[in-house]
Amino acid sequence: EVQLVESGGGLVQPGGSLRLSCAASGFIFSSSWMSWVRQVPGKGLEWVAYIKQDGSETHYVDSVEGRFTISRDNAKNSLDLQMNSLRPEDTAVYYCAKGGWYPDFWGQGTLVTVSS
């Protein structure tokens, strides 16, 4: 059974940093593109970033370019999202997703709140 479990969310002040992690199991992690997608509570979805199987290629939405870094550890079946210079508009539930085009499995998400 595929499982994606996010962690690391919480309350952070504007300008602060947070690191999200996603523990993957039930599939060959090293063979899968992986993504982070976020959703403002009660609103729509925004694709934040995705990463190639070996980590050699990454893509970011313009609004997080230069502030967020997606990375992976295939030995640990883990996906991370380092978020720096956080802004109130980054407040959202962040989902880990398997795939880079049309993810076929999603985690339950972790809530990030940026507020003073």
Q: Residue numbers of the site for another protein (CB under 8 A)?
A: 4, 44-47, 50, 59, 61-62, 95, 97, 101-109
CB of residue 104 to another protein, shortest distance in Å: 5
Burial of 83 (0-12, 13-18, 19+ CB in 10 A): buried
CB of residue 96 to another protein, shortest distance in Å: 10
Query: Measured from the CB atom, is 18 or 103 closer to another protein?
Result: 103
Query: Measured from the CB atom, is 4 or 18 closer to another protein?
Result: 4
Query: Measured from the CB atom, is 12 or 48 closer to another protein?
Result: 48
DSSP state of 29: G
CB of residue 85 to another protein, shortest distance in Å: 20
Rounded Cα gap, residues 116 and 114, in angstroms:
7
Rounded Cα gap, residues 75 and 25, in angstroms:
12
Residue 16: what are its φ and ψ, rounded to 5°? -85, -175
